[in-house]
Amino acid sequence: MTASAGPARRIPMIGTSWKMNLLPSTAPAWFGTVTRGIAATSSDPATADREWFVLPPFPALAAAQASLEGSPIRWGGQDVHEDDAGAHTGDVSAPMLADLGCTIAEIGHSERRRDHGETTAMISGKVRAALRWGLTPLLCVGEATQGVPDAAIGLVEGELAGALRGLGPGDLAQVVVAYEPAWAIGEGAQAADLKHVAALHAAIRGWLDARGATAVRVLYGGSVNPRNAADLLTVPGVDGLFVGRAALDPEAFVAIATVTLPQQENGS
């Protein structure tokens, strides 16, 4: 793996998906706590250079737009259909997301692959749909079962190649990757250990850099919480965090989103 370009500056990105939690009526309280909490640290140089996002369920996206417009927090969908319109009952398209002010579409989460049988071809189509509408595709990759890093690297590189195949450099540069080992996600799970995270992020970084995608950020997801966020963020190659259940508590999300790092070393 050869880094074909010099190190790009990648602004750390911290966000959350609520998955199928909270309600349109309870969402504004969450948005309020988080926007106030983040605004309170805006003069702190440690967090000034950071991006944040939230991916509520579709019915709460209008509330996100109403609450977050003009704030530094981006919002987006947890999924997107490959097509722009048509006979696809229950699905949501990229122009619908864009119309609600979304700037991100999460694609290929392990729960979507598991519950909805999403295939590589579908995931690749979703990435293209997001790009057509100016949405950042947040592409989730990660191995299903716990094992040695080498086995996981092979699987993850296969997922990247399948999802991103055929994209030109301009499109590739718009993507954000979330490395999320499925075994580290959800109730009862624990975050992957830092060595595993370092090995996988180095491999993903190498894969992207070899294709000139030096600006693409690679987030870690899987049982992130306020206690492990700083350690995970200081792993070389970790450009941000993608948080699930811990962030349902807005104060906990603020703690993660504004965490101060001992030494700002990541990103090179």
Question: Could you give the C-alpha distances from 171 to 29, 50, 165, 267, in angstroms and in order?
Answer: 36, 22, 11, 21
Q: How many Å is the Cα radius of gyration of the chain?
A: 17
Contact residue for ligand PGA among 12, 15, 181, 222 (CB under 6 A):
222
Listed in sequence order, the DSSP H helices in the chain are: 27-39, 45-48, 61-68, 94-99, 110-116, 120-132, 149-164, 169-172, 194-210, 229-233, 250-257
Amino acid at position 163, single letter: A
Among 229, 222, 221, smallest CA distance to 262 is for 229
Among 82, 79, 135, 132, smallest CA distance to 107 is for 79
> Smaller CB distance to ligand PGA: residue 114 or 165?
114
* Residue closest to ligand PGA, measured at CB: 244
Per the annotation, the verdict on 82 as an active-site residue is no
User: Please, what is the minimum distance in Å from the beta carbon of residue 203 to ligand PGA?
Assistant: 19
CB 65 within 8 A of CB 100: yes
Q: How many helices (H) and strands (E) does the chain have?
A: 11, 8
Per the annotation, the verdict on 251 as an active-site residue is no
Among candidate residues 82, 106, 109, 111, the one labeled active-site is 109
Binding mask 188-217 for ligand PGA (x = CB under 6 A): -x----------------------------
Contact residue for ligand PGA among 73, 242, 252, 259 (CB under 6 A):
242
Please report whether residue 256 would count as binding ligand PGA according to CB under 6 A: no
* Interface positions, 151-180, toward ligand PGA (CB under 6 A): 180
Cross-strand partners of 207? none
CA–CA gap between residue 251 and residue 38 (Å, rounded) = 10
Binding-residue total with ligand PGA (CB under 6 A): 14
User: Please, what is the minimum distance in Å from the beta carbon of residue 186 to ligand PGA?
Assistant: 5
Please report whether residue 243 would count as binding ligand PGA according to CB under 6 A: yes
Binding mask 106-145 for ligand PGA (x = CB under 6 A): ----------------------------------------
Catalytic residues: 109, 180
Residues at the interface with ligand PGA (CB under 6 A): 17, 180, 185-186, 189, 221-224, 242-246
